[in-house]
């Protein structure tokens, strides 16, 4: 989305475009968690807070009580799960709360679409009642999903759905309800070198990381997994998670929950920039027919020759210094941007 116009008096070109990612970052990364393990609250949350990251935490409805409790699927040992008390705290801190199904079972694709949607909506409604906020994202149990599952998720009211796929998503994903992710299988898969390679491959794309449990070395849970020689434990040490997040923090990447990145993509592709020159001013209008739920700011790159400009966005004015031939502006769909040369 690229537009330019020229000032007949100065013959200087101006241009405006919506950046692929917020703040013109080189890629987008979403950190996601399944099963609402208490270890995520105990170990992952403090690390995320240290680096200023927000994540997407998904929960299973029947496992989630007011207080933290132990639960498990048949045949598996019990693991402490977060209660609504911890979930609400994560939400209040700016993290996204997503659905992982009311029951941790694969959705039966043979069921009628309406039945699938009804099953999915049950947990969505529960989360919304407990958090007081819209639940936008579903993490399909066992990453088991296809086009019919995605249709059911949309019918249930979800906007975004995360599955497996072991790869990154393109800047314009094929289906926002079948988003690909890369799973951390154990403490060494990927190892730190492999994790660095994942980050390098994410350049220009959207990487969604899938985590489950964080158990300390020597913990009861890790001893049980080691005793039974479980290879893909879907668990890692808190220290390893910290090292991964440190590596991510060193990248010029936008780290945000699934719903934030997903909404940005929808807005970026739906909003049209309309520009014109009027009495020595340049006006950019962000034309949009999107629903009001798409109310996150977009990053607009404006190239211009003026060294200092006065910018009015939605009635709020600010002075910008232009040292690199361009400035980055934050504007909402429907906003009008007025740029004047500052004398």
Residue 88 and residue 127: Cα distance in Å, rounded?
10
Q: Is residue 201 part of a domain?
A: yes
d(CA 334, CA 287): 5
- pLDDT tens string 52-109: 999 999 999 999 999 999 998 877 889 999 999 999 999 999 999 999 999 999 999 9
Within a domain: residue 260? no
* In-domain check, residue 128: yes
Residues 111 and 197 both lie in one domain? yes
Q: Do 242 and 296 lie in a common domain? A: no
Q: Could you tell me the CA-to-CA distances from 77 to 20, 33, 80, 220, 276 in Å, in that order?
A: 44, 19, 10, 11, 65
- Residue 12's pLDDT band, with cuts at 50, 70 and 90, is low
Mean pLDDT value across residues 131-153: 97
The residue out of 227, 252, 277 marking a domain boundary is: 252
Overall number of domains in the chain: 2
State mean pLDDT over 118-143.
98
The reply to whether 271 and 246 lie within a common domain is: no
Greater model confidence, 292 or 179: 179
271 within a domain of the structure (yes/no): yes
Does residue 258 lie within any of the structural domains? no
Which tens digits make up the pLDDT trace of 149-182? Answer: 999 999 999 999 999 999 999 999 999 999 999 9
Residue 157 and residue 10 share a domain: no
**Residues 95, 64 share a domain:** yes
Q: 144, 142, 149: which is closest to 212 by C-alpha?
A: 142
Structural domain harbouring 48: 26-252
Statement to judge: residues 132 and 147 lie in one domain: yes
């Amino acid at each position: 989305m690229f537009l330019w116009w020229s000032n007949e008096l100065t013959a200087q070109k101006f241009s405006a475009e919506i950046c692929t990612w917020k703040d013109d970052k080189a890629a987008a990364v979403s950190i996601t968690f399944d099963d609402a393990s208490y270890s995520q609250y105990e170990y992952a949350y403090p690390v995320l807070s240290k680096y200023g990251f927000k994540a997407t935490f998904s929960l299973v409805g029947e496992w989630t009580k007011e207080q933290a409790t132990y639960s498990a699927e048949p045949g598996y040992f019990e693991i402490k799960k977060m209660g609504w008390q911890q979930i609400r705290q994560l939400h209040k801190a700016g993290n996204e709360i997503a659905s992982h199904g009311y029951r941790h079972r694969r959705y039966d694709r043979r069921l009628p679409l309406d039945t699938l949607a009804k099953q999915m909506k049950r947990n969505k409604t529960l989360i919304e009642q407990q958090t007081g906020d819209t639940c936008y994202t579903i993490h399909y149990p066992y990453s088991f999903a296809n086009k019919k599952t995605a249709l059911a998720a949309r019918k249930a009211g979800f906007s975004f759905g995360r599955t497996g796929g072991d790869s990154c998503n393109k800047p314009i994903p094929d289906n926002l309800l079948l988003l690909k992710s890369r799973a951390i299988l154990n403490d060494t898969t990927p190892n730190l070198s492999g994790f660095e390679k994942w980050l390098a491959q994410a350049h220009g794309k959207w990487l969604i990381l899938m985590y489950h449990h964080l158990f300390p070395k020597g913990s009861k849970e890790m001893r049980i997994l080691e005793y039974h020689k479980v290879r893909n434990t879907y668990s890692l040490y808190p220290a390893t998670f910290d090292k991964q997040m440190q590596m991510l923090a060193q990248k010029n990447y936008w780290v945000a929950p699934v719903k934030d990145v997903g909404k940005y993509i929808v807005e970026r592709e739906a909003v049209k920039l309309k520009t014109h020159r009027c009495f020595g001013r340049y006006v950019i209008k962000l034309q949009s027919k999107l629903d009001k739920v798409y109310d996150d700011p977009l990053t607009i790159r404006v190239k211009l020759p003026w060294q200092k400009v006065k910018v009015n966005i939605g009635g709020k004015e600010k002075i910008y210094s232009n040292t690199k031939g361009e400035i980055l502006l934050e504007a909402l769909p429907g906003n009008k941007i007025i740029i004047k040369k500052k004398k």
